[in-house]
Amino acid sequence: MKSFAVNLFALLLFFAAAGCGGDSSTAANDSSKPKPKSMVADEPDPMENKGIGPITSVTLGATVDAAMAEEGRKVYEKMCTACHKPTEKFIGPAPIGVLDRRSPEWIMNMILNPEQMVKEDPIAKKLLMEFNGSPMANQHLTEQEARAVLEYFRTL
């Protein structure tokens, strides 16, 4: 009789512990912040990725700087249209909406430092695979030209 009581006690303890485990994991899930729907649990937010290269911080104006965008359009038409169409996929992706997918720093680093980006940056590595190994070309823009192209991308 005594050992039965001990066993029952042990059993109750077991269930109590199992119950607690369940509760605490639910609580942890409830307290975690809601994630944007595009985000997979173990993938970092792409907009947090600034890429690898000379650009660490870009400030975009509240409105588009039309003169800078026009300068960027000229650079883009001369240096980029061999592989990019503004609004359709071509040899490379269409830049339309790129500012919604990538941080401004990432975009400029991709323009200025593509060789290292496609080797080391997780997003650029994936893009290279998506585009069957054809790499983004370094067109040797100056930082100012790359910044102007970025402004032009805001107008697409």
Give the interface with ligand HEC as residue ranges (CB under 6 A).
76, 79-80, 82-84, 91-93, 95, 98, 101-102, 107, 110-111, 118, 124, 127-128, 131, 134-137, 139, 141, 149
Measured distance CA(109)–CA(46) in Å, rounded: 14
Provide φ and ψ at 152, rounded to 5°. Answer: -60, -40
Smallest distance, ligand HEC to C-beta of residue 149, A? 5
In this structure, the dihedral spanned by the alpha carbons of residues 143, 93, 99 and 36, taken in order and rounded to 10 degrees, is: -140
Min dist. Cβ of residue 148 to ligand HEC (A): 10
Q: Which is nearer to ligand HEC, 68 or 110 (CB)?
A: 110
Between 35 and 74, CB nearer to ligand HEC:
74
Minimum separation from the CB atom of position 126 to ligand HEC (A)? 9
Burial class (CB in 10 A: 0-12, 13-18, 19+), 140: exposed
